[in-house]
Amino acid sequence: MPPRALDPAGVALVDKPAGPSSFAVVAQIRRVTGARTGHAGTLDPFATGLLLLLSGRATKLASCLVGLDKRYLTEIDLTGRTTTGDPEGEVVERNVPPAEAELNERLERLRGEVELPIPAASAVKIGGERAYKLARRGVEVEMPVRRSTVHALDVISYTGETVTLDLCVSSGTYVRSLATALGGHCTTLRRTEVGPFSVDDAVAPEAFTAERLLSEAEVLARVDAARAGLGA
């Protein structure tokens, strides 16, 4: 049974590396603090970047943090779609990458309010079972559609085959679904911001110490200031 200590309390900003699951990082931080530890949103194993991890009494802040907008940098290979929308899946469709003008038209259709199918390799439950478990067994199901808001979607570079995007999206948006809609799949994905929190202020899991925890008061003050700045 994991530790249930309420102290130390606070929020850790952790820069997840590619490879381990988010839950492995949660367990790593829990071993350092000895306190109950939760999260405010996970990242796929291949993805990197900002995780907000909640320690001790601060786990009650989860409801204040999970709905924050998120910002990502992603590289998308436009030569083919995969079963998962990322490099871990099998290629199911080869495509001729679009010309830059066509790419810009596709991107324009993905800005604002969008409805996209949830990836089959996700933790969403279908008939009481996680979708990714069904996918691993080869069970094909019709995935539900999720409405999301793409606040910003900017091209950093385009090689003619891969495009690098900087995007800001509402909570719950699957960047892999956006990649699939563009005719490709994510090769890299890095979360750079969660609401007012930046990966620039995060540390690698192995460098984390309890002294790095942000206090509950500071976390709430940042969130309130960010919402006030947006007129929320």
All domains of the chain in start order, with CATH = 10-67+197-229 (3.30.2350.10), 70-193 (3.30.2350.10)
Say which residues have a Cβ less than 8 Å from residue 163's Cβ, sequence separation at least 6.
Answer: 75, 76, 78, 103, 155, 157, 182, 184
What is d(CA 164, CA 152) in angstroms, rounded to the nearest whole number?
A: 14
SS3 label, residue 145: strand
Q: 26-43 pLDDT, tens per residue?
A: 999 999 999 999 999 999
pLDDT band of 129, cuts 50, 70, 90: low
pTM for this model (two decimals): 0.90
Q: 41-57 pLDDT, tens per residue?
A: 999 999 999 999 999 99
pLDDT band of 232, cuts 50, 70, 90: very low
% the chain with pLDDT above 70: 86
The CA R_g of the chain, rounded to the nearest whole Å, is 18
Average pLDDT, rounded, for the chain: 90
SS3 label, residue 106: helix
Whether the pLDDT of residue 102 is over 70: the answer is yes
Whether the pLDDT of residue 75 is over 90: the answer is yes
pLDDT, average across residues 187-208: 98
pLDDT, average across residues 155-174: 96
Q: 6-16 pLDDT, tens per residue?
A: 999 999 999 99
Does residue 83 or residue 196 have the better pLDDT? 196
pLDDT, average across residues 100-109: 96
Does residue 114 or residue 1 have the better pLDDT? 114
pLDDT for 1 equals: 41
Does residue 216 or residue 137 have the better pLDDT? 216
% the chain with pLDDT above 90: 78
The three-state DSSP-derived secondary structure of 169-228 is: ECCCCCHHHHHHHCCCEEEEEEEEEECCEEHHHCECHHHCCHHHCECHHHHHHHHHHHHH
pLDDT band of 105, cuts 50, 70, 90: very high
Which residues are marked as active site? Answer: 44
pLDDT for 37 equals: 96
pLDDT for 88 equals: 87
Whether the pLDDT of residue 131 is over 60: the answer is no
pLDDT, average across residues 153-171: 97
